[in-house]
């Protein structure tokens, strides 16, 4: 039975949801049938008008806490794109509904303990229904997940096998993390304080690979001199989720990166004494988890988003000593301008380019792979490139 919509943007009145709608309005593919979703028809209409969307843009009123409302949403759309986090607070019923109803789902989740809970509860259910559930379709973790995928594909093509060791290094980044990311971190810390099993999952680099545990991984929690690059590096706040997603991609792809795969992510702060001082200052900064950080619904101005960017380097080595470098760059601030484009293209890619991907709970690399890289380069301002050593 044909559905009324291809995509419903759930949370369209929120800061990131609005950016998704704004980006959808620029898409040249007029065959895409999409709607704005949220709890209030009045707020949806107001945002529609503020953004200059056509007056006939469909509005879908949905309350995730209301089972009948969720079922009505499932009956109307092929895919739900949700920006409503923290997902551990607001995502349980929506994931369950999609997994049960065979409806595809993409989100911006950076909450590994919750993701594991959803995998345990709904992966088999999604496999049975055909629903493709894809977490982490924003800055966490698309540039990292797909950067590693591209590097490993190139390693196999050039050297006959994958890199057993990959370093993800953030070279440059301008822009603030989203209020949703900060809220998710705070909610996760609150959950860990009352549930030791959450803390155990947060510490486990293989938290998202049930039944598989690979080799010991670098902790990435302390500043250090990266001997391979000759620069100081500091802990990277998104590594706790990105590394888990990269290992899950390897798991879902049948250990395509090798069962002995080792991966870490850190932030480059530079060479010498200055680089060391900056690395130590970054490691000591705890503002992300404080109440003074960005709040959900808040975010940078258009000028600030457009002035933002990021540049991530991936360095892979195999046991023979072969080395390859791949970079991923984005042309907007990571938390908002680039993320809103990435999740939208992930949703479109899942519907249009990944028809062979079966039901289950996926990562972007495992579900969409190279077609998503191609879409992001063509439509979302990302650049993937092999670099000279």
Tokens of 289: 């988890």
d(CA 368, CA 358): 11
Residue where the block lists tokens 């709970």? 361
Q: What pLDDT band is residue 192 in, cutting at 50, 70 and 90?
A: low
pLDDT digits (tens, 9 = 90+) for 362-387: 999 999 999 999 999 999 999 999 99
Q: Check residue 171 and report its DSSP letter.
A: E
- Start-to-end CA distance of the chain, whole Å, equals 52
Q: What ranges in the chain are assigned the alpha helix state H? A: 15-24, 41-50, 67-76, 87-90, 92-101, 112-129, 142-159, 179-194, 196-203, 239-252, 272-284, 302-307, 339-352, 364-367, 369-379
d(CA 235, CA 279): 8
**Residue ranges per domain, the chain?**
5-134, 142-333+370-387
114 close to 87: Cβ distance less than 8 angstroms? yes
Identify the CATH number of the domain defined by range 5-134: 3.40.50.720
Whether residue 288 is predicted with pLDDT greater than 80 in this model: the reply is no
Among 4-18, 62-76, 170-184, 321-335, whose mean pLDDT is lowest? Answer: 170-184
DSSP assignments along 225-238, one per residue: EETTTTEEEEE-TT
pLDDT reported for residue 96: 97
Per DSSP, the three-state class of 152 is helix
pLDDT digits (tens, 9 = 90+) for 73-93: 999 999 999 999 889 889 999
pLDDT reported for residue 363: 98
Cα–Cα nearest to 35, from 2, 13, 50, 64: 13
Whether residue 291 is predicted with pLDDT greater than 70 in this model: the reply is no
Task: Kindly state the average pLDDT of the residues 110-121.
Answer: 95
d(CA 189, CA 173): 25
Q: What pLDDT band is residue 139 in, cutting at 50, 70 and 90?
A: very high
d(CA 37, CA 80): 9
């Amino acid at each position: 039975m044909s559905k009324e919509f291809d995509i419903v943007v759930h949370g369209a009145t929120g800061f990131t949801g609005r950016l998704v709608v704004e980006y959808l309005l620029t898409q040249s593919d007029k065959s895409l049938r999409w709607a704005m979703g949220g709890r209030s028809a009045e707020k949806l209409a107001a945002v529609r008008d503020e953004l200059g969307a056509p007056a006939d843009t469909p509005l879908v009123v949905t309350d995730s806490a209301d089972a009948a409302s969720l079922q009505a949403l499932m009956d109307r759309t092929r895919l739900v794109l949700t920006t409503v986090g923290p997902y551990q607070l607001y995502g349980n019923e929506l994931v369950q509904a999609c997994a049960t109803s065979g409806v595809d789902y993409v989100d911006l989740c950076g909450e590994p303990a919750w993701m594991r809970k959803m995998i345990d509860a709904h992966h088999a259910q999604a496999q049975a229904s055909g629903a493709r559930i894809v977490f982490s379709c924003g800055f966490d973790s698309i540039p990292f997940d797909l950067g590693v995928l591209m590097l490993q594909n190139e390693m196999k093509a050039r050297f006959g096998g994958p890199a057993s060791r990959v370093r993800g290094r953030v070279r440059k980044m301008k822009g603030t993390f989203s209020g949703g990311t900060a809220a998710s971190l705070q909610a996760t810390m609150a959950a860990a304080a009352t549930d030791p099993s959450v803390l155990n999952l947060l510490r486990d680099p293989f938290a998202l690979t049930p039944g598989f545990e690979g080799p010991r991984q670098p902790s990435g929690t302390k500043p250090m001199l990266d001997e391979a690059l000759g620069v100081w590096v500091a802990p990277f706040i998104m590594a706790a989720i990105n590394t888990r997603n990269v290992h899950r991609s390897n798991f879902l792809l049948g250990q395509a990166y090798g069962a002995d795969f080792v991966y870490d992510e850190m932030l480059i702060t530079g060479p010498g004494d200055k680089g060391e001082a900056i690395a130590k200052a970054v490691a000591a900064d705890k503002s992300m988890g404080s109440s003074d950080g960005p709040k959900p619904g808040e975010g940078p101005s258009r000028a600030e988003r457009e002035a933002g960017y990021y540049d991530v380097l991936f360095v892979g080595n195999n046991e023979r000593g072969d080395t390859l470098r791949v970079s991923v760059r984005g042309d907007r601030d990571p938390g908002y301008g680039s993320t809103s484009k990435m999740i939208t293209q992930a949703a479109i890619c899942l519907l249009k380019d990944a028809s062979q991907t079966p039901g289950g709970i996926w990562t972007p690399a495992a579900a969409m792979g190279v077609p998503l890289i191609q879409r992001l380069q063509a439509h979302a301002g990302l650049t993937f490139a092999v670099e000279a050593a």
